[in-house]
Amino acid sequence: MRDQAHTKQSLNHGRTTGFLWSDALGWLFSLRSMPVLTLLAFLGPVLAGLISTLLPAFGYLPVIGGEELSFKPWAELFSHPALPQALFNTLTSGLAATVISLILAIGFVSAWQGTKSFQRVRTILAPILAIPHSALAIGLAFLIAPSGWIARLVSPWATGWETPPDVAIIHDPNGLSLILGLVIKETPYLLLMMIAALDQNEANQRLCLARTLGYKPVAAWIKAVLPVIYRQIRLPIFAVLAFSLSVVDVALILGPTAPPTLSILVLRWFYDPDLSYRTLAAAGAVLQLLVVIGSISMWRLGEVVLSNISKQWLVNGRRDLFEGLVSALSKWVMKLIITAFFGSFAVILVWSFTRRWRYPDALPSVWSTQSWGSNLYNLFWSGGTTLAVGLASSVIAIALVVACLENEKRRGKTAGTGALWLLYLPLMIPQVSFLFGVQIVTIRLGIDSSWLSMIWSHLLFVLPYVFLSLSDPYRCQDDRYVGIALSLGASPARAFWRVRLPMLLRPLLFALAVGFAVSVAQYLPTLFAGGGRFSTLTTEAVNMAASGNRRVVGVYALLQALLPLLAFSAALGLPAFIFRNRRSLRGI
Amino acid sequence: MPNDTSNTKNNINTYHRADAPKHPVPLHLQEFSLKLRGKSLFSGLNLNINPGEITTLMGPSGCGKSSLLAAISGTLSSEFFVSGIICLGDFDLTILPPEQRHIGMLFQEDLLFPHMSVGENLSFGIPFSVKGKKARAELINQALEDAGLSGFANRDPATLSGGQRARIAVLRTLLSQPSALLLDEPFSKLDVELRERFRAFVFRHAKAHQLPTLLVTHDPDDAQSTGGRVLKMSDLNN
């Protein structure tokens, strides 16, 4: 670098040129190795898992005597009577949930950006995101089922029902309740992603400019802002699409059953006592991956077509776009989503303290804490496991992410968009498509059903979200603070611990809470990596959801929802307390 | 503050950094060049600044003035290519990390650490070799008194006025016992009246500590007020 480099070179002169273990070890424990180690810890299991799923899909599974590659599993798969309908269910629910969520999010932002209700909705969104999908799905089921709270509230005076009507609302064959459950959760997510993109793109100026040119709000937003921010929300949209197409826990609680969606069908085959189903399951898991890849490709193609068609339309000068309809509709739907969210939360709370609740009474007639008391032991263990795995995986994720970002800072280089795609990879590859393979690998390594495999498998999903939530604040921090600290004589370590990290306390704690919430919500990784030895609040809640014992399910779902909420409250409250005498960091 | 410009002799610190030169030494740049992605910002710069001397470097924003100061202090991003030698007296700083250079920096923004109180900010600057809570607190109080800010030690920096914060930033730098001082337009954000007083405050301290000082600015008024040498950035580019 500098011309003093020759002094360094002459120092190195006495060394042999061969491989030096001390150099290798030095690199391994240095900051420079962190991005590589992180990617290995992260992509290694995903790739190993994919390969270990791919091989059985072509008949190679030595445990059950399959040692030759063949297409037999595929022939079985395609001749399976449940497949066509399962595939259809998967595609319709996944695509419908994504399209509806996206339209709602766009409609709401375009009609309401910059207004008071926009700000209000923005603050309500955070808790919706914090609560695990499955807890929300359970609450929704308790709400909309024929024997649910809504039916009870309007019966018998409005409906005349004295007993629950015999209609399939939950598990309906068309997957409508599944779509509803997904939309309630994904719309806020897309909304938040859009808001983040808006903040970066001087969207407000664009919007104002379009408004001064006479464009009405919705038209102004869709014509002047959406085309610019779409590139930034594309990855989140793909993540939503992939998730909706391959979701397991929500589909178990709300989705169709005969036949179910593809991911559930695959899961059933994996857990069939007859081991010969394993190759069929593996083939199904690969098909699930192909469905996601195919859908994302189709979506991409749709984008191109749509942007070509709309080129003319963007500049045709029309300055209004169903303004009244969009603003009224989006507002009402958003209210409905928020009501459904709070209703779900309230109904699991009520059920968890219910002793006796006769249909069609609006409220329980006898309350008690019996459901809590009689499950105390199991609650303690599954809650403890949830807490331990959640804390461990999110703390490890924070350490890795901070090391990577600090390495970026010190080397003066920022990871490109390629790295962002790598990060999103585990979020886009269906969980059933590689977790089964991961399980095979952990068995081979002798670490199956251990804390290590549990924490590691959670880390795969925690890490991307922690990175996404921490990278912006970390990269944006003014490096001159650290520079000043160094100029004052502080060592790099001191500058890092005493200046860099304390100033980032708020985003660090927030990222920790995000990671924790993601870990708490994991169903399939716990199932596969825990090998039945571990149960968390989420696996207990989902597994019991079908049991019909709403009191106990309510207890688990409520705790499952409360833990992330508490984590987020702490992440907001702690900095406010610590910095109560530091105005510029107090935040709230 | 009334005593800003009054007494010029009350502020010589009563301690010395163990590794600091015994006597004030000049800051010396030799054949100093700076490149960013192949583009030369300046090259072959030779500059000698004597203890207590304030040299001004003038140029429009974006011409590489700030990068030059970052290069001298050692905090420049590794995207840049630096060549040449930086010395303090006979001591070659060129390959030293910033924390071993002891070159004080002041920016347009005060950059007080927002998570620390005023006193903690100052204490962060005081070398580790000053042991004991009492000794450190004494230095802090002495510095605050000198700046007309007695009793501010426990205040939150965010509750101070711009002028007060700027003075605290100067004190923090001086308490770290720098061997040279780099000023990156530290006056440009203050209003006219405050600016003159603050300028006098900084220059008085730089001279009292016998610090070789390099000021970069685009304001001719700043340059004139130093009473020292004024170089133009455009003359350095060749």
Instruction: Please say if the pLDDT value at position A4 is more than 60.
Output: no
A344 and A424 housed in the same domain:
no
Q: Is A74 within a domain?
A: no
What CATH number should be reported for the domain holding residue A574?
Answer: 1.10.3720.10
Final residue belonging to a domain, choices A368, A385, A414: A368
Model pLDDT, residue A16? 42
A102 and A39 housed in the same domain:
no
A35 and A107 housed in the same domain:
no
**This prediction's pTM:** 0.87
Helix (H) / strand (E) element for B231: namely strand B230-232
Closest-CA distance of chain B to residue A34, Å: 19
Closest-CA distance of chain A to residue B102, Å: 6
Q: For residue A359, what pLDDT band results from cuts at 50, 70 and 90?
A: confident
A260 and A276 housed in the same domain:
yes
Model pLDDT, residue A200? 77
A312 and A381 housed in the same domain:
no
Long-range contacts of A555-560 (CB under 8 A, 24+ apart): A555/A352, A555/A371, A555/A372, A555/A375, A555/A379, A556/A379, A556/A382, A557/A134, A557/A135, A557/A138, A557/A139, A557/A348, A557/A352, A558/A135, A558/A348, A558/A349, A558/A352, A559/A379, A559/A383, A560/A132, A560/A134, A560/A135, A560/A386, A560/A520
Instruction: Please say if the pLDDT value at position A18 is more than 80.
Output: no
Instruction: Please say if the pLDDT value at position A431 is more than 60.
Output: yes
A419 and A439 housed in the same domain:
yes
ipTM over 0.95: no
- State the Cα–Cα distance between residues A406 and A409, nearest whole angstrom: 5
Q: Is A68 within a domain?
A: no
The answer to whether the CB atoms of A581 and B156 lie below 8 A apart is yes
A441 and A324 housed in the same domain:
no
Instruction: Please say if the pLDDT value at position A372 is more than 70.
Output: yes
Q: Is A176 within a domain?
A: yes
Q: Are B103 and A465 in contact (CB under 8 A)?
A: no
Q: For residue A244, what pLDDT band results from cuts at 50, 70 and 90?
A: very high
Q: Is A19 within a domain?
A: no
Instruction: Please say if the pLDDT value at position A5 is more than 70.
Output: no
Instruction: Please say if the pLDDT value at position A511 is more than 60.
Output: yes
A124 and A88 housed in the same domain:
yes
Cα angle A217, A207, A421 (rounded to 5 degrees) comes to 110
Model pLDDT, residue A15? 40
Of all residues in chain A, the one with the smallest CA distance to B79 is A412
Contact of A491 with chain B, judged by CB distance below 8 Å, is answered with: yes
A354 and A421 housed in the same domain:
no
Contact of A583 with chain B, judged by CB distance below 8 Å, is answered with: yes
Over the stretch B173-229, which tens digit does the pLDDT of each residue have?
999 999 999 999 888 888 888 899 999 999 999 999 999 999 998 888 888 888 889
Contact of A31 with chain B, judged by CB distance below 8 Å, is answered with: no
Instruction: Please say if the pLDDT value at position A472 is more than 60.
Output: yes
A410 and A313 housed in the same domain:
no
A327 and A413 housed in the same domain:
no
Final residue belonging to a domain, choices A315, A341, A368: A368
Q: Is A9 within a domain?
A: no
Considering only the beta carbons, identify the residue of B99, B113, B157 that sits closest to A491. B99
Q: Are A386 and A542 in contact (CB under 8 A)?
A: no
Q: For residue A168, what pLDDT band results from cuts at 50, 70 and 90?
A: confident
Model pLDDT, residue B18? 62
B77 to chain A: which residues are within 8 Å by CB? 412
The answer to whether the CB atoms of A483 and B75 lie below 8 A apart is yes
Average pLDDT for residues A83-100, to the nearest whole number? 96
A136 and A148 housed in the same domain:
yes
Domain span at A380? 31-56+371-588
Final residue belonging to a domain, choices A368, A388, A416: A368
Q: Is A304 within a domain?
A: yes
Number of domains in chain A: 2
Q: Which residues of chain B have pLDDT under 50?
A: 1-15, 238
Contacts (Cβ under 8 Å, ≥6 apart) of A7: B95
Q: Is A548 within a domain?
A: yes
More confident residue, A377 or A415: A377
Q: Are B172 and B113 in contact (CB under 8 A)?
A: no
Average pLDDT for residues A523-532, to the nearest whole number? 88
Q: Residues of B near A (CB-CB distance < 8 A)?
A: 17, 70, 73-75, 77-79, 81-84, 94-95, 97-105, 107, 109, 111, 113-115, 117, 124-125, 127, 156-159, 172-173, 176, 178
Residue A378 is encoded by which pair of tokens? 């199991």
Considering only the beta carbons, identify the residue of A411, A413, A486 that sits closest to B99. A486
Q: Is A73 within a domain?
A: no
More confident residue, A132 or A123: A132
Instruction: Please say if the pLDDT value at position A222 is more than 50.
Output: yes
